[in-house]
Structure 1
Amino acid sequence: MRPPISPLRLQRGIFENACWQCTERALLRAERGAATKSSARFFSKSTLSRASATRSNSTAAAAAAAAVLPTHRFKAGYFVSNSLLARFNGTQVASPSVEGSVSTTQEPRVATATTADRPAPDLLPHRRRQAARRKAAEDASSPESDAPTATMAPDASSLLAAAAARHPADSLRRKLSSFLSLSKPRLTVLVVLSAMVPYALYPVPAFLSSAATAAPSLSPLTLLFLTTGTTLCSAAANALNMLYEPDTDAKMTRTRTRPLVRRLLSTRAAVAFAIGCGVVGTGALYWGVNPTVAFLGATNIVLYAGMYTPLKRISAINTWVGAIVGGIPPLMGWAAAAGESATADGTWRELLFASDGSSLGGWLFAAILFAWQFPHFMPLSWGIREEYKAAGLKMLAWTNPARNARVALRYSLVFIPLCLGLCAAGVTEWSFALTSAPVNLWLVNEAVKFWRHEGHKGSAKKLFWASVWHLPVIMVLALAQKKGMWSRVWRSVVGEPVEEEDEFFDDGEDAA
Structure 2
Amino acid sequence: MNKKAYLELTKPRLVLLALLASISSFYMASKGALDTALLFHALLGSALVGGGANALNQFIERDLDAKMARTQNRPIPSGRVPDKKALLFGALFSLGGLLYLFLFVNKFTSFVGFLVPATYVFLYTPLKRKTPLNTFVGALSGALPVLLGWTAVNPSLNLEAMILFSILFAWQIPHFLAIAWVYKEDYLKGGFKMFGADDSSGQTLGWHIVAASLVLFALSLAPTFMGITGLTYLFMAVFFGVNLCGFAIYLATHRLSYAKQFIYASIIYLFTLNISMVVDKAG
In structure 1, distance between residues paired with 2:226 and 2:239: 21
Question: In the alignment, does 2:96 pair up with 1:280?
Answer: yes
Rg comparison, structure with higher value: 1
More helix as a share of residues: 2
1:254 is paired with a residue of what secondary structure?
A: coil
Structure 2 length as normaliser, TM-score? 0.94
Question: In the alignment, does 2:81 pair up with 1:265?
Answer: yes
| Aligned-residue RMSD, C-alpha | 1.5
Letter in 1 for 2:197: W
Judge conservation of contact 2:221–2:237 (CA < 8 Å) in 1: no
Letter in 2 for 1:393: F
Offset of residue 449 of structure 1: 1.6
Question: In the alignment, does 2:241 pair up with 1:425?
Answer: no
Offset of residue 477 of structure 1: 0.9
* Identity fraction in percent: 31
Match of 1:186 in 2: 13
Offset of residue 368 of structure 1: 1.0
Match of 1:387 in 2: 186
Match of 2:162 in 1: 363
Match of 1:452 in 2: 253
In structure 2, distance between residues paired with 1:291 and 1:392: 38
Offset of residue 203 of structure 1: 5.3
Aligned length: 281
Counterparts of 1:186-265 in structure 2, within 5 Å, are 186-202=13-29, 204=31, 209=32, 217-265=33-81
Offset of residue 422 of structure 1: 0.4
In structure 2, distance between residues paired with 1:193 and 1:435: 19
In structure 2, distance between residues paired with 1:335 and 1:436: 25
In structure 2, distance between residues paired with 1:399 and 1:336: 43
**Residues 1:233 and 1:298: Cα distance change in structure 2 (over 3 Å):** same
Question: In the alignment, does 2:159 pair up with 1:338?
Answer: no
Match of 1:439 in 2: 240
In structure 1, distance between residues paired with 2:206 and 2:117: 29
Question: In the alignment, does 2:124 pair up with 1:308?
Answer: yes
Match of 1:295 in 2: 111
Judge conservation of contact 2:221–2:238 (CA < 8 Å) in 1: no
Judge conservation of contact 1:237–1:274 (CA < 8 Å) in 2: yes
Q: Which digits, 9 at most, give the CA deviation of each residue in 1:387-427, with x for residues without a partner?
A: 21122111112134444223211121123332321012222
Counterparts of 1:39-188 in structure 2, within 5 Å, are 172=1, 175-188=2-15
Match of 1:483 in 2: 282
Structure 2 runs not aligned, ≥5 long:
none
Counterparts of 1:408-419 in structure 2, within 5 Å, are 408-419=209-220
Letter in 2 for 1:428: T
Judge conservation of contact 1:389–1:398 (CA < 8 Å) in 2: yes
Structure 1 runs not aligned, ≥5 long:
1-171, 210-216, 340-350, 353-358, 485-512
Structure 1 length as normaliser, TM-score? 0.53
For residue 176 of structure 2, the aligned residue among 343, 362, 377 is 377
Offset of residue 262 of structure 1: 1.0
In structure 2, distance between residues paired with 1:415 and 1:238: 26
1:413 is paired with a residue of what secondary structure?
A: helix
Letter in 1 for 2:18: V
User: Whose RCO is larger (CA < 8 A, sep 6+)?
Assistant: 2
In structure 1, distance between residues paired with 2:208 and 2:166: 15
